[in-house]
């Protein structure tokens, strides 16, 4: 058990340093190199996401919320896990989903629904961790049920305002990437907590890799889309604006017929 704990701690320190370095980069870009207030907003959200992830991995590296579960039915062997890992995976990605929703110019209600679905998925996996071995299938199924409508919503219902926009490519990648990472957490739970195929060290490594893929890589993709986020209005938003009555000359679809000269 001591060897497992030592290996897990090494991985957690490495994840802390990587997340902290990326958070510093995002905060620096937001305050020094951002070319617009909208680009700075995305950098700030990315910095907050990776910075909070670094703090939680620091807590795990220091042994905070460390716990053990019985690995065998007689309790002869134990398996290491961290309560705070599930806490971080539940709430830190909510900042990422908010960032993606902001990129897509979606309403706050849509972002709130996505965040609630994500928290539901991770909470189901956490409760499955605490449940008896024969009951964990139920919570894994609940996590999948929470992930599926979230994926459908992000792929189908959201992103309409990005139509004919250069941001559409980045959005499609982010949506696919988030769904793949969410499914990855379910597979990790299946192999580690249900079938018990993988050792604790392997579980920690794969969990840290999934966390960075979800939070770090996604934040970098949003940063790389910086030049495209500066447009005040996207074509989809301008088309919506043209539907409002009254005189206006803003956007690709000005309502010149309603303009009056006094």
Determine the pLDDT at residue 44: 95
- The domain locations on the chain are 2-228
Mean pLDDT, the chain, rounded, equals 84
Span 105-154, pLDDT tens digits:
877 888 899 999 999 999 999 999 988 888 999 999 999 999 998 998 88
The burial class, CB within 10 Å (0-12 / 13-18 / 19+), for 216 is buried
Q: DSSP for 52-97, please give it.
A: HHHHHHHHHHTTTTEEEEESSTTSSSEEEEEHHHHHHHHHHHHHHH
Determine the pLDDT at residue 260: 47
For the entire predicted model, the pTM comes to 0.84
The residue-averaged pLDDT of 74-79 equals: 59
Of residues 106 and 19, more confidence is placed in 19
128: tokens are 């499955």
Report which of 145, 143, 93, 95 is spatially closest to residue 122, judged by C-alpha positions: 143
**Measured CA angle at 233 (ends 101, 259), to 5 deg:** 140
Determine the pLDDT at residue 65: 87
* pLDDT band at residue 249 under the 50/70/90 scheme: low
121: tokens are 């998925």
Q: What is the CATH number of domain 2-228?
A: 1.20.1070.10
């Amino acid at each position: 058990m001591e060897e497992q704990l030592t290996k897990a701690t090494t991985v957690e320190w490495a994840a802390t340093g990587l997340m902290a370095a990326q958070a510093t980069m995002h905060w620096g870009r937001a305050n020094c190199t951002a070319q617009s207030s909208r680009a700075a907003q995305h950098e700030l959200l990315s910095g907050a996401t990776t910075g909070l992830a670094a703090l939680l991995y620091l807590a795990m590296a220091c042994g905070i919320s460390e716990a053990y579960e019985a690995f065998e039915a007689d309790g002869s062997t134990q398996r290491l896990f961290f309560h705070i890992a599930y806490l971080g995976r539940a709430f830190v990605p909510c900042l990422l989903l908010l960032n993606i929703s902001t990129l897509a110019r979606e309403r706050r209600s849509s972002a709130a629904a996505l965040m609630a679905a994500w928290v539901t998925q991770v909470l189901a996996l956490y409760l499955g961790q605490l449940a008896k071995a024969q009951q964990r299938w139920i919570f894994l199924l609940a996590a999948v049920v929470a992930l599926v409508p979230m994926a459908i919503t992000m792929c189908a219902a959201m992103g309409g305002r990005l139509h004919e926009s250069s941001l559409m490519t980045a959005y499609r990648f982010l949506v696919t990437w988030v769904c793949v990472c969410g499914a990855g957490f379910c597979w990790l739970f299946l192999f580690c907590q249900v079938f018990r195929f993988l050792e604790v060290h392997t579980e920690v490594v794969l969990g840290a890799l999934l966390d960075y893929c979800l939070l770090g890589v996604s934040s970098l993709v949003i940063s790389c889309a910086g030049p495209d986020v500066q447009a005040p209005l996207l074509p989809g938003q301008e088309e919506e604006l043209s539907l409002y009555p009254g005189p206006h000359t803003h956007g690709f679809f000005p309502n010149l017929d309603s303009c009056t000269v006094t």
